[in-house]
Amino acid sequence: MVSGNGNNLLWNAVWGGEIEIVKFLVENGVDVNLRDVYGETLLIDAVKWDRGGIEVVEFLVQSGAEINAVDNEGRSAFYYAIWGENPEIAQYLLDAGSECHCGISGAAEFCSCEEGG
């Protein structure tokens, strides 16, 4: 079942922070790289709206979520972690292989700090 904006049951589980349902659906074949009408992936949406916290983000990444995917505005999950002032998720995404995007307001300093140790 898919809503008018392209969201399905997995999307609703992510939005609700229901990690056990997210795990069940992904383990049973639901695609973690689905996109909605805004081009947002589940990972982007989870970070953008702070749904489910780091546990959901980690699970999506470990399950093959495309970490550097961008939405229709060209914004990635890392962008939204910086935008939402969530350094724990931003650091996790960088450690997991996310591109830094130093042009994002606030990200240049964050990434420079990480690169400098």
The 10s digit of each residue's pLDDT in 45-76 is 999 988 778 999 999 999 999 999 999 999 99
Strand partners, 41: 35
pLDDT for the residue 111? 72
The 10s digit of each residue's pLDDT in 4-38 is 445 678 988 998 889 999 999 999 999 999 999 99
Count CB-CB contacts under 10 A for residue 95.
10
The 10s digit of each residue's pLDDT in 99-112 is 887 677 777 666 76
pLDDT for the residue 97? 93
Q: CA 90 → CA 14, 66, 76, 77, distances in Å? A: 18, 15, 11, 8
pLDDT for the residue 60? 97
Percent of the chain with pLDDT over 90: 61
Phi first, then psi: give them for residue 8, nearest 5 degrees.
-125, -170
Q: Which two tokens stand for residue 111?
A: 């990434």
Phi first, then psi: give them for residue 2, nearest 5 degrees.
-130, 135
- According to CATH, what is the number of the domain 9-116? 1.25.40.20
| Predicted model pTM | 0.84
Among candidate residues 44, 104, 100, the one with its CA nearest the CA of residue 72: 44
Burial label, 11 (beta-carbon count in 10 A; 0-12, 13-18, 19+):
buried
Enumerate the domain spans of the chain: 9-116
